[in-house]
Chain A
């Protein structure tokens, strides 16, 4: 079984010990539930912009013209990628808040 060794400096080890005391078992499982809920919401967006707008709904969306782009084509070749980037940064920011509220941040 893996042993996860804490950071080498004494300071890190000290904060480590404090964290372990305050992190109760219920906190950990509540954090996990909140995390999974957030993941499902963000993955729904991920699916919608790529598989939804870029593939399944591409033909109806192509009837809408924005600038020189047909909308469905734009999602498939550019729009989905911008949303992907945003999703990762949104998740990073939101999950930090969740972690802090449950006292499990790194």
Chain B
């Protein structure tokens, strides 16, 4: 019976989607029909896995029983880590930022070196359930635990709001359902496997989601690499030559962009100090993110935690080394297929491709014919002030009418960065099933991250707040029930943010990394590497780092601070690295002036430094 559960669920989902297609009168072979089928089957897969791996104890719910194979855990970590931002947005950002986009590539991978070398093995040896557990025990106080819970909840909710939105965007573009409906469907699916299966369910679903998302990312990337350079390996193709002219792709891109008035693709516009600070903040922030750290509590041994971080980075690197190639090709393709083309021409070769119009229809592309020649001109600078706003009705050529005030430059087209990956298969003229695959991949990326985040939120509520502080006498069964209830509440809050996104979601992503970098990471590192760091020092350091970083971000993001006022030229995205330095400095100063660490805690530190004798996770 159990053996048939997962394939059975997929088959049932496939039949359901075929029926849905028939009822709605959608052609099975069309892109939309295929998208329904693929996304539906992937949901069947996730639910099947959830039922197959449902959790029976808090240990299974919190850390999947502590028996996950390191390669499996690495794969789950990769899916957990790679969010809608990695899958949908990152290549788009790099496409438009060029070298400056490197901060994300290095920042979101380099943190795994810190994790594997400085955090994961020792936290695994520590052997409890949650990140706040470590703070509570190592800094021997409920205050430290509560500060950690607070950081964790703020960081995780910031993140999860963006994920639910990502699900909504993919649904609305590919399935023609309302964004809100898409968010609701996403909530139901996550509800199933996060609430039923806990960490165990989430781990095995994330493995499936990794396979879906990496396949969906690689297939169009390989096709496009072949098309442009004749080399199927995107990592090599980026350094390859243009099939048509024989010039190296990056050189061609540099030349084309300079001609259009942009900077060279391969050299940046950001100040070096800012690139340095952002990269550092993202690396350290990555290593301090609770939903990533907690994944290393699920493997059997200390050495497994290290090797598992290595595997996680292998799986992440597959996407992260492909992204720069996708980015460069997308930018080149965009210029080739759009710039100087008629919006509406007699022949297909002279007019802009169909995907321009379909993305225009949902408002992520906007064209304002400033010189009135009926051609789409692409150049440096914003085409008009702000994001496009559209009037009712259509212009002479069938374009949507833009009401924004035009700018003085030549550029006539607005392209939302988030569409580059989603539009890529269309840009390269790939068949409908590839587009359907990318839709399923985008949903997988968003759902896997959302589930991981919801899990650390519910765990910190049921375990750290209830069991460890408010109601220590509850049984394992009751704790499990509370964990499930907390997951339900967290899903509802996340769904609310997905449907009513606060305008500042994009801005506060910097806050999530900044917070992790300036609060959790330094305190964990000090807890392992310094035997003299006491609770007063750690708490004072975290609060000082938090206060500095949050007020800096608030001042520049919400109170109208301008770039010329930046401290040392560091933007709010990178300020977490200064917050981290402040945390370390304050922590050392305060710990020197206050009572030394008790002996039993010193013994705990000595114990976690040695791999020998790690049992299963306990509480």
Contact = CB atoms under 8 A, between A and B. Distances in A.
A50 B137 contact: no
B214 to A, nearest CB: 15
B484 to A, nearest CB: 25
Interface residue tally of chain B, by bracket? 35 or more
Given A6-B613, A70-B250, A55 B324 contact: no
Interface in A79-106: 80-82, 84-85, 87-89, 91-92, 95-96, 99, 103-106
Contacts of B266: 62, 70, 73
A85 B250 CA distance: 25
B600 interface: yes
Given A4-B127, A4-B615, A5-B616, A28 B606 contact: yes
Contacts of A31: 609-610
A43 B117 contact: yes
Interface in B97-123: 99, 101-102, 105-106, 109-110, 112-113, 116-118
Query: What secondary structure prevails in chain A residues at the interface with B?
Result: helix
Contact of B303 (A50, A56, A106): A106
A10 interface: no
B276 A55 contact: yes
A81 B105 contact: yes
Interface stretch (B308-316, B412-420, B451-459): B308-316
A36 B241 CA distance: 45
Interface residue tally of chain A, by bracket? 35 or more
Given A4-B618, A104-B610, A92 B113 contact: no
Q: Which of B118, B249, B276 has the most CB of A within 10 A?
A: B276
B435 to A, nearest CB: 26
B240 interface: yes
Contact of B604 (A2, A51, A88): A2
Contact of B618 (A3, A69, A73): A3
Nearest to A87: B113
A68 B239 contact: yes
Interface string B239-260: 1110000001111000000000
A51 B276 contact: yes
A66 to B, nearest CB: 8
Given A68-B239, A68-B241, A70-B250, A106 B612 contact: yes
B239 A50 contact: no
Contacts of B106: 50, 54, 76, 80-81
B616 A88 contact: no
Given A2-B604, A8-B616, A56-B272, A88 B611 contact: no
Given A2-B137, A80-B106, A96-B303, A91 B116 contact: yes
A64 interface: no
Interface in A21-51: 23, 28, 31-32, 35-36, 39, 42-43, 46, 50-51
Contact of A1 (B137, B280, B612, B616): B137
Given A54-B102, A62-B266, A73-B99, A68 B251 contact: yes
B117 to A, nearest CB: 5
Contact of B105 (A39, A76, A85): A76
Contacts of A50: 106, 110, 279, 283
A11 interface: no
A62 B248 contact: no
Contact of B279 (A7, A42, A55): A55
A16 B303 CA distance: 16
Interface in B66-108: 94, 99, 101-102, 105-106
Given A81-B321, A84-B109, A92-B307, A23 B612 contact: yes
A81 B283 CA distance: 12
Contacts of A62: 266-267
Given A50-B279, A68-B238, A70-B266, A84 B313 contact: yes
Interface of B: 94, 99, 101-102, 105-106, 109-110, 112-113, 116-118, 125-128, 137, 140, 235, 238-241, 248-251, 266-267, 272, 275-276, 279-280, 283, 301-303, 306-307, 309-310, 313-314, 317, 320-321, 324, 529, 600-601, 603-604, 606-607, 609-616, 618
The 5 closest A-B pairs by CB, nearest first: A68-B248, A88-B310, A76-B102, A68-B239, A106-B611
12 contacts: A3-B618, A4-B125, A4-B614, A5-B616, A51-B276, A54-B106, A68-B238, A73-B99, A76-B105, A81-B321, A105-B303, A106-B302
